[in-house]
Chain A
């Protein structure tokens, strides 16, 4: 399973892969989504502060954490955006940092509504 860095053919959210990972356990899936809903905005906020302060080390660490939770959840494109930010921060490319953060926020903006919609759906 090979993926291009910029593969726009990837869905924002790969629900099928996630369902396979949780063995179709809806309760576990809800659990994960709830954890994500709580942890993601907090980590994003810290990342924004780190980028604003040009704290590269902290930005790389937070981007790594985001990458982990996003890829576990099947948020493929957003995870890729977090990964790019991690690489940029680790390489010390301060100039590209803000753009990378913007790209990450952009991807998140298309992922979050999908998750919300799914949660609303399974609740009923």
Chain B
């Protein structure tokens, strides 16, 4: 494990360095608080720090305060080294954000034991962060396909429409539906149906750019958002996405199945800034037309000819994500 030592006294620094290296730590040693802060701000910085109290440039408590002020960064476990150890000093040190303090000259065994406490705390933090990330993923993703779930993609779409309107760019919304999916389920069972949905998700993801969004809108319906997509290319890109489904059969436990997808599409340049629900209704209508035209095809939603300027509030307020 990496550890940072900050001490202006060369002798103490060397002693600490060697003691900690012997205990298996990967040591970075610096001679003042400013350098310590620089080290702790680096990528992959040490998460354990042993800081002398009195140092030039920036003292130990100063480093602690600066580190604690940062948010959204991994926790750094900081131990202050002090020579006095009066009650007032101890309180001041801990209040500055230090996790622990040690009196100089240190006892090697005590030092190692206290650093092990720090490692335990950091391990606990790792587990908490991991659990939080897992929960965040589960709250925004479809468990079967791992695509964004309906709520998440609607949020992203709303933001994207605001952004593209602000930046005067065009967003293309695609709603795709696997043709005759009910037949797959009825004929081969739900396990195969699930396999088809997973493969469909993979093909959709494989046919968009990294900054486009793909989400599972419902059952066998998928929503694709092409960000900053030039309207001139939108139909061709939509066609390519549709063909990614019909291109080659899908391998399932019950053999390979040839499937197709119907698509409805809408470009924000045709529609201006309108509520997401309204826009999705238009895409849905286009998708319905594709189904009615024999499936395995794309239908573009047609712009509504407006006779009067829109005065009503155009968009719902943005929902903030936590």
Binding site for B on A (CB under 8 A): 20-23, 25, 28, 31-32, 35-36, 39, 61, 64-65, 67-69, 71-74, 83
Contacts and interface: CB of A to CB of B under 8 A. Distances in A.
Contacts of A23: 19, 22, 108
Given A21-B15, A35-B14, A65-B9, A71 B105 contact: yes
B11 A39 contact: yes
Contact of B15 (A22, A39, A61, A67): A22
Given A68-B83, A68-B104, A25 B11 contact: no
Interface centre among B54, B106, B107 (most CB of A within 10 A): B54
Binding site secondary structure of chain A: helix
B8 A65 contact: yes
B12 A72 contact: yes
A40 B11 CA distance: 10
B104 A32 contact: no
A35 B83 CA distance: 20
B18 interface: yes
A22 B19 CA distance: 7
A72 B5 CA distance: 15
Nearest to B107: A21
Interface string B4-24: 000111111011001100100
B27 to A, nearest CB: 14
A36 B15 CA distance: 12
The 3 tightest CB contacts between A and B, nearest first, are A69-B11, A71-B105, A68-B9
Contact of B9 (A21, A69, A83): A69
Contact of B105 (A64, A72, A83): A72
Given A21-B105, A22-B18, A69 B12 contact: yes
Interface of B: 7-12, 14-15, 18-19, 22, 52, 54, 83, 104-108
A124 B14 CA distance: 24
A22 B107 CA distance: 10
Given A64-B54, A68-B104, A72-B105, A28 B11 contact: no
Contacts of B52: 68
A25 B105 CA distance: 17
Contact of A72 (B8, B11, B22): B11
Best-surrounded residue of B8, B14, B52 (most CB of chain A within 10 A): B14
B105 A32 contact: no
Nearest to B52: A68
B11 A36 contact: yes
Contacts of B106: 21
A20 B111 CA distance: 13
A69 B15 CA distance: 10
Given A23-B22, A39-B9, A69-B12, 16 more contacts: A20-B108, A22-B19, A23-B19, A28-B15, A35-B10, A39-B11, A61-B54, A64-B83, A65-B8, A68-B7, A68-B9, A68-B52, A69-B11, A71-B104, A72-B11, A72-B12
Contacts of B83: 64, 67-68, 71, 83
Contacts of A35: 10-11, 14
A21 B104 contact: no
B167 to A, nearest CB: 56
From B12, B15, B22, B107, name the one whose CB has the most chain A CB atoms within 10 angstroms.
B15
B108 A72 contact: no
Contacts of A74: 105
Contacts of B7: 68
B11, B14, B15, B108, most chain A CB atoms within 10 A: B11
A6 to B, nearest CB: 18
28 contacts: A20-B108, A21-B105, A21-B106, A21-B108, A22-B18, A22-B19, A25-B18, A28-B15, A32-B11, A35-B11, A35-B14, A36-B11, A39-B9, A39-B11, A64-B54, A64-B83, A68-B11, A68-B52, A69-B9, A69-B10, A69-B12, A71-B83, A71-B104, A72-B11, A72-B12, A72-B15, A73-B11, A83-B83
Contacts of A61: 54
